[in-house]
């Protein structure tokens, strides 16, 4: 277990990472969320990470890790979708192969998207965790580097670059809200944001049925879900890791959960009122604010990382969103 959560995640190290990944990663815009403001009575700022090349923030961590590998002839990873797309993207840019292990229930749209970005999808198991075990076995067998979705310092440094951009552009934020899967984004954002502005508060949100990190955060020890039952599949890690939890403990103020239905209601709200389409693993943040899961009374300005938009028309129809 990590003894000093800040090792490898100093502000200077993350700034250096941002410079390295800049040719491959967008400086995504921040816009006002006027419709949400009208309901929660706080100035609200959305960082549009869903505009990244593969439509999620995951390109930051994937680029950081893959660019750190020397004489790399290919990589192996496991993903619920977005991380695999990101690894495939940077590997295509660098002209190296990417083998992406995915749960067997991965949507056809995601599989085809990974192929589009040059990755080779391999279906295994019923969850990300099972795909992860098989991917690591294959990585060792083939002697290829393994790119973990969240439990890797280089990946976390990449995700932390989001906070640098956010606070450089909007330095007066009182709180930042982040959706959580394995914990790579919130730990990177939290560690970096607290170095830039110690008084800023960091909050995480998960959907019930994909809430392993929330359970671990609140109990202070690793909790494992028996299965992922939420529709927010990209939040689908059955458990986090000790190192990730250690970083979250020192940088995150609170975590809450919402139901799938609340996440879908918020998805529809964002589409109807803000004209923004994101996936449930992202809209869950807005759901938590609409459901008053957090006390916003101390704050004047809040930031929300809209981290992914990999959702299909068929999924929206199946969820009765449209």
- Which tens digit of pLDDT belongs to each residue from 277-314? 999 999 999 999 999 999 999 999 999 999 999 999 99
* Average pLDDT value for the chain: 95
| End-of-domain residue from the set 147, 167, 193 | 147
Please indicate, yes or no, whether residues 186 and 291 belong to a single structural domain of this protein.
yes
| End-of-domain residue from the set 94, 112, 147 | 147
Place of tokens 């990999």: 310
Paired tokens of 239 = 């458990």
pLDDT tens sequence across 245-265? 999 999 999 999 999 999 999
CB atoms within 10 A of CB 138: 17
Please indicate, yes or no, whether residues 136 and 273 belong to a single structural domain of this protein.
no
Please indicate, yes or no, whether residues 254 and 302 belong to a single structural domain of this protein.
yes
Paired tokens of 77 = 């990873």
Say which CATH number the domain at 130 has: 3.40.50.1100
pTM of the full structure = 0.95
Q: Is residue 127 part of a domain?
A: yes
Eight-class DSSP state of 95: T
Q: Is residue 159 part of a domain?
A: yes
Q: Which domain holds residue 72?
A: 58-147
| End-of-domain residue from the set 98, 126, 147 | 147
Domain count, the chain: 2
Please indicate, yes or no, whether residues 239 and 156 belong to a single structural domain of this protein.
yes
Place of tokens 């959706």: 179
Place of tokens 């815009």: 29
Please indicate, yes or no, whether residues 128 and 175 belong to a single structural domain of this protein.
no
The Cα 91–Cα 100 span in angstroms is: 11
Please indicate, yes or no, whether residues 235 and 132 belong to a single structural domain of this protein.
no
Which of 104, 105, 103 lies closest to 149 in space, CA to CA? Answer: 103
Is the per-residue pLDDT at 114 higher than 90? yes
Collapsed DSSP state (helix, strand, coil) of residue 241: coil
Please indicate, yes or no, whether residues 89 and 40 belong to a single structural domain of this protein.
no
Q: Tell me, what's the pLDDT at 34?
A: 98
pLDDT tens sequence across 6-53? 889 999 999 999 999 999 999 999 999 999 999 999 999 999 999 999
């Amino acid at each position: 277990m990590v003894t000093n959560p800040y090792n490898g995640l100093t502000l200077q190290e993350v700034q250096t990472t941002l410079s390295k990944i800049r040719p491959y990663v967008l400086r995504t815009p921040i816009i006002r969320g006027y419709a949400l403001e009208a309901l929660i009575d706080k100035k609200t700022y959305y960082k549009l990470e869903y505009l990244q090349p593969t439509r999620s923030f995951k390109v930051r961590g994937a680029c950081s890790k893959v660019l750190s590998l020397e004489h790399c002839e290919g990589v192996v990873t496991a993903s619920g979708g977005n991380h695999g797309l990101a690894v495939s993207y940077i590997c295509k840019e660098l002209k190296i192969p990417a083998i992406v292990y995915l749960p067997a229930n991965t949507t056809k749209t995601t599989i085809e998207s990974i192929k589009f970005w040059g990755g080779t999808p391999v279906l295994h198991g019923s969850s990300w965790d099972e795909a992860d075990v098989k991917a690591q076995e294959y990585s060792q067998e083939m002697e290829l580097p393994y790119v973990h979705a969240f439990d890797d310092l280089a990946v976390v440094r990449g995700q932390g670059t989001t906070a640098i951009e956010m606070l450089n552009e909007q330095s007066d934020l009182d709180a930042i809200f982040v959706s959580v899967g394995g914990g790579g984004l919130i730990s990177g954002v939290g560690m970096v944001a607290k170095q830039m502005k110690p008084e800023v508060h960091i909050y995480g949100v998960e959907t019930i049925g994909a809430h392993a990190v929330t359970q671990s955060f609140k109990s202070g020890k690793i909790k494992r879900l028996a299965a992922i039952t939420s529709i927010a599949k990209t939040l689908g890690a059955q458990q986090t890791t000790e190192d990730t939890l250690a970083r979250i403990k020192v940088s995150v103020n609170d975590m809450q959960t919402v139901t799938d239905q609340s996440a879908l209601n918020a998805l529809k709200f964002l589409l109807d009122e803000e004209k923004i389409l994101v996936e449930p693993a992202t809209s869950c943040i807005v759901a938590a604010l609409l459901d008053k899961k957090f006390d916003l009374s101390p704050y004047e300005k809040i930031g929300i990382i809209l981290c992914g938009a990999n959702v299909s028309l068929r999924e929206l129809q199946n969820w009765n969103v449209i």
